């Protein structure tokens, strides 16, 4: 006889948990049939060979990260700084997203893999000149070390256990790789609380990096995250405005991998045209390449065909890709060090621009070139945007689309031309696709360009299919051209120049890829 409860037979009595019933938070394990017998535990924790000898060596980036920590130390004398890597983010139920450490943690440690969930970098204040590399702080990296095979974690912990996710490095191996002293994560609370109190050490924590660590810090100092912690986040963001030699090298690798990904996208266009969700074909092609050649994509790929290209952050990517239309592909490979490229090309699906598509495309390209001309040492970051806008406003006036002159439109009180390009022309780029986002406006938007800065130049024009203020031939056309630029001592370098930008060159490039 069936004993299942039918909905019509459920009562408040049957829904009330019995005394001693399994707590809700433990029920996820009900799907598992892990053995728990004493004999199993004895058997599974025995009979393993010796682990191979460590091959850990000091990472090339270790000297750079030491310099970065020293620069941060100079801004916070006498203050204990807490920089968490963060923990896993739940995707659904008991399934996590792939772990990626907080960018500030990666920047200061050089660690960029999936082996550091819950790790915390602590910079302890010491007398000036006695800290690491003569700084005013001593760095300690608190981590969960490799668990022994004789521990329950080894076989039963699906989030951290070696049997489930592989072996973590030992504390000694991490210390060798990073050049940072290491300690067990269990010691973190005591380390943070040392000498804290009235007139004692102040403790700051990076906000929104790890809620659990924030709570520990709040308990120790008796107050929640506040403005002082925001100043730490600001300083960490501003520290990345100028890229060092290692970071520039990683950006080159990310861009090169991205260029190769765009080549694969072009070769996949015939398959995209044939598929009912051709935009997904494009997205999947690039994602597969990014996982093969790097860590992941640096952000969700935009594969926007036809009128979808007029939606700035179109990431549904579920539409058709039709001959005769344009497809806007905004994508970047994030390499293993977590530095990402951010490149956009707008491509004619069948390999040839129509006259009106070419007209819009050329206007955007001219605006981008004007941005490059402005992106030189001594100029201000906002000058790049202003230069691009002058070109677009003039072109829109020429086409009869502005209700005022281009000069009048450029007045801050007007901005009519921005109807067709509401976003900015540039943003800094690095460990985050929108890097340095917490930097002060005086150093970002109004900042003076210096050698070592890396940012995008990405003007666009977007004419939605229902825009009654433009002629019908323009409607449904969206064009963006985005390149990654490095400011140099005598100007700038287009890091993504290997991807053709000129419309004739784009057509020739696409034809060659399809024939090859």
Q: What are the CA-CA distances from residue 489 to residues 140, 362, 399, 492, 493 (Å)?
A: 36, 29, 38, 8, 10
CATH number at residue 437: 3.90.230.10
- Helix, coil or strand: residue 486: strand
pLDDT at 28: 63
**Are residues 186 and 280 both part of a single domain?**
no
- Which tokens go with 211? 């809620």
DSSP state of 380: B
pLDDT at 36: 79
For the stretch 95-152, pLDDT in tens is 889 999 999 999 999 998 777 899 999 999 999 899 998 999 999 999 998 888 988 8
pLDDT at 31: 64
Q: Calculate ∠ Cα 14-18-19, nearest 5°.
A: 160
Q: What are the CA-CA distances from residue 513 to residues 266, 330, 344, 457, 510 (Å)?
A: 7, 19, 18, 26, 5
* Average pLDDT in the chain: 93
Please check whether residue 13 lies inside any domain of the structure.
no
Sign of CA dihedral 128, 131, 133, 139: negative
Residue located via tokens 């080549």:
263
Q: Are 204 and 228 in contact (CB under 8 A)?
A: yes
**Are residues 194 and 288 both part of a single domain?**
no
Please check whether residue 344 lies inside any domain of the structure.
yes
Residue 488: pLDDT above 50?
A: yes
pLDDT at 33: 67
- Which tokens go with 480? 């963006």
- Helix, coil or strand: residue 149: coil
Q: What are the CA-CA distances from residue 492 to residues 192, 246, 253, 374, 377 (Å)?
A: 44, 18, 18, 9, 8
Q: What is the mean pLDDT of residues 375-382?
A: 98
Residue located via tokens 């039918």:
6
CATH number at residue 213: 3.40.350.10
**Are residues 370 and 442 both part of a single domain?**
yes
98: closest CA among 338, 373, 452, 403?
Answer: 338
Counted domains in the chain: 2
**Are residues 121 and 233 both part of a single domain?**
yes
Q: How far apart are CA 339 and CA 250, in angstroms?
A: 6
Q: How far apart are CA 42 and CA 39, in angstroms?
A: 5
For the stretch 25-50, pLDDT in tens is 666 666 666 777 899 999 999 999 99
**Are residues 298 and 207 both part of a single domain?**
no
For the stretch 228-246, pLDDT in tens is 999 999 999 999 999 999 9
**Are residues 274 and 209 both part of a single domain?**
no
DSSP state of 238: H
Cβ-proximal residues to 239 (8 Å cutoff; 6+ apart), any chain: 68, 71, 72, 107
pLDDT at 18: 56
**Are residues 192 and 266 both part of a single domain?**
no
Q: How far apart are CA 256 and CA 321, in angstroms?
A: 26
Is the pTM value of this prediction over 0.95? no
Q: How confident is the model at residue 208 (pLDDT cuts 50, 70, 90)?
A: very high
- Which tokens go with 160? 């951290």
Question: What domain range is 433 assigned to?
Answer: 245-515
For the stretch 303-326, pLDDT in tens is 999 999 999 999 999 999 999 999
Select the more confidently predicted residue: 380 or 150: 380
Residue located via tokens 């060092």:
244
């Amino acid at each position: 006889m069936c004993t299942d409860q039918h909905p019509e037979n459920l009562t408040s009595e049957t829904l009330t948990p019995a005394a001693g019933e399994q707590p809700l938070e433990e029920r996820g394990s009900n799907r598992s049939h892990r053995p728990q017998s004493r004999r199993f535990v004895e058997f599974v924790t025995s009979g393993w060979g010796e682990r191979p000898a460590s091959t850990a060596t000091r990472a090339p980036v270790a000297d750079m990260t030491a310099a970065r920590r020293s620069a941060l130390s100079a801004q916070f004398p006498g203050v204990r700084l807490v920089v968490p890597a963060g923990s896993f983010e739940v995707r659904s139920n008991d399934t996590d997203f792939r772990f990626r450490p907080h960018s500030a943690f990666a920047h200061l440690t050089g660690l960029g893999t999936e082996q550091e969930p819950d790790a915390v970098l602590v910079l302890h204040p010491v007398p000036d000149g006695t800290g690491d590399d003569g700084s005013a702080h001593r760095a300690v990296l608190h981590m969960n070390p490799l668990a022994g095979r004789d521990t329950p974690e080894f076989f039963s912990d699906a989030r951290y256990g070696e049997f489930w996710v592989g072996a973590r490095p030992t504390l000694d191996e991490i210390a060798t790789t990073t050049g940072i002293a290491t300690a067990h994560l269990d010691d973190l609370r005591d380390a943070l609380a040392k000498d804290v109190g009235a007139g004692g050490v102040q403790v700051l924590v990076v906000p929104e990096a790890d809620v659990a660590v924030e709570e520990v810090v709040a308990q120790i100092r008796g107050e929640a995250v506040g403005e002082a912690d925001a100043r730490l986040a600001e300083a960490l963001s501003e520290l990345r405005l100028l890229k060092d030699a290692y970071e520039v090298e990683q950006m080159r690798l990310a861009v090169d991998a991205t260029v190769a990904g765009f080549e694969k996208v072009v070769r996949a266009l015939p398959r995209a045209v044939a598929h009912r969700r051709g935009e997904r074909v494009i997205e999947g092609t690039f994602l597969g390449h990014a996982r093969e050649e790097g860590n992941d994509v640096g952000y969700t790929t935009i594969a926007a065909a036809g009128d979808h290209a007029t939606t700035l952050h179109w990431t549904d990517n579920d539409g058709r890709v039709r001959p005769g239309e344009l497809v806007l592909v905004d994508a970047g490979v994030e390499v293993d060090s977590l530095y990402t490229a951010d490149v956009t090309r707008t491509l004619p699906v069948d390999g040839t621009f129509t006259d009106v598509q070419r007209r819009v495309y050329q206007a955007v390209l001219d605006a981008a070139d004007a941005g490059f001309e402005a992106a030189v040492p001594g100029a201000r970051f906002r000058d790049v945007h202003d230069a691009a806008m002058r070109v677009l406003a003039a072109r829109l006036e020429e086409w009869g689309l502005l209700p005022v002159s281009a000069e009048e439109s450029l007045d801050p009180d007007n901005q009519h031309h921005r109807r067709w390009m509401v976003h900015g022309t540039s943003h800094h780029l690095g460990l985050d696709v929108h890097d340095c986002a917490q930097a002060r406006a005086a150093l970002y938007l109004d900042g003076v360009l210096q050698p070592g800065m890396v940012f995008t130049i990405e003007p666009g024009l977007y004419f939605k299919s229902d825009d009654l203020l433009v002629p019908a031939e323009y409607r449904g056309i969206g064009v963006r051209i985005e390149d990654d630029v490095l400011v140099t001592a005598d100007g700038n370098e287009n890091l993504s120049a290997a991807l053709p930008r000129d419309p004739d060159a784009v057509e020739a490039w696409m034809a060659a890829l399809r024939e090859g």
